[in-house]
Amino acid sequence: MRAESDYLIIGSSHAALAALSTIRLQETEKTVTVLTRDRHFPYSPTLLPYVVSGDVRPEAAILCDEAFFEARRVRFERSAAVAAVRPETREVTLEDGATWHYDKLLLATGATPVLPAIAGLSEVRFHSLRSLDDSLALCAELGRARSAVVLGAGLIGMHAAENLAKAGIAVTVIEQRAEVLSGYFDAEAAGLIAARFASHGVAFRLGCTVAATTVQPRQRGLSLRALPLMALPSASAARWSRPPAPAPGARDAGSRSMTAPKSRPIFY
């Protein structure tokens, strides 16, 4: 199949939606098409942790539907992952082989989670939390998992921890820095937030860098007792690839009263 569009937007999240609205303000006659690899209508990533806990239904995270695109005379193509862009011929090719010709192209493809270089990680089942399908996959596991490890105490990691705990999972957060949310709050505020989480049963291992994951043969049968969740910075902030040295005096909240019993499995 070979199709055409004056404006071709790849991606269907916030950047894409803002762009298409702005384009339509300027260009009333040109054709505009949105191609997204997602199989859903655009949704708010902000709500994904609440989809995991069940506080928000997946449908409630949807930002706009077919009527939105029809009203703006925008063609919206789901499950349309772009595999190649050829600027010299102004063409893109989708993974299914379809080709689109464009006059103007916007890449609004956002970010993807960066996986840290942890030995053995590929042997362990883990999730990331970036897309609606990620949160649905996590939901599907919750009935079977009793504990989860969240790597990273940034905004997404803390959101994930909050909502996994709400879903009844025993959560341990591992963070290489000495405080939670260190990019956002000072030590005092971060301590208050961590204590609040701890009062809801969330355990912390701060100042800890995960070096390796292992699966002991005798624990294979218990593989769903712990559900590692990667809450990673986006590709544009790939801090995991060069983790900073631990802060002087970095402390391990695991030794404080806010933590869960040490016997809780960290990795299965």
Ligand X SMILES: Cc1cc2nc3c(=O)[nH]c(=O)nc-3n(C[C@H](O)[C@H](O)[C@H](O)COP(=O)(O)OP(=O)(O)OC[C@H]3O[C@@H](n4cnc5c(N)ncnc54)[C@H](O)[C@@H]3O)c2cc1C
Residue of 8, 33, 41, 49 that binds ligand X (CB under 6 A) = 49
Give the H or E element holding residue 8: strand 2-10
Is 11 one of the binding residues for ligand X (CB under 6 A)? Answer: yes
Is 233 one of the binding residues for ligand X (CB under 6 A)? Answer: no
Residue of 14, 30, 78, 104 that binds ligand X (CB under 6 A) = 14
Q: Measure CA 11 to chain center.
A: 16
Is 82 one of the binding residues for ligand X (CB under 6 A)? Answer: yes
Q: Annotate each residue in 135-174 with x if it binds ligand X (CB under 6 A) or - if it does not, as one string.
A: ---------------------x--x---------------
Shortest Å, Cβ 169 to ligand X: 17
Closer by beta carbon to ligand X, 36 or else 213: 36
Q: Which of residues 104-123 bind ligand X (CB under 6 A)?
A: 108-111
CA triple 108-111-114, angle to 5 deg: 160
Shortest Å, Cβ 261 to ligand X: 29
Is 230 one of the binding residues for ligand X (CB under 6 A)? Answer: no
Pairwise CA distance, residues 241 & 263, whole Å: 30
Is 74 one of the binding residues for ligand X (CB under 6 A)? Answer: no
Is 127 one of the binding residues for ligand X (CB under 6 A)? Answer: no
Q: Coil, helix or strand for 23?
A: helix
Lookup result for tokens 């199949």: 1
Pairwise CA distance, residues 157 & 174, whole Å: 9
Pairwise CA distance, residues 22 & 20, whole Å: 5
Shortest Å, Cβ 115 to ligand X: 15
In contact, 171 and 150? CB cutoff 8 Å = yes
In contact, 116 and 210? CB cutoff 8 Å = yes
Task: Give the number of other CB atoms < 10 A from CB of residue 237.
Answer: 12
Shortest Å, Cβ 155 to ligand X: 6
Binding site for ligand X (CB under 6 A): 10-16, 35-38, 45-46, 48-49, 81-82, 108-111, 129-130, 156, 159
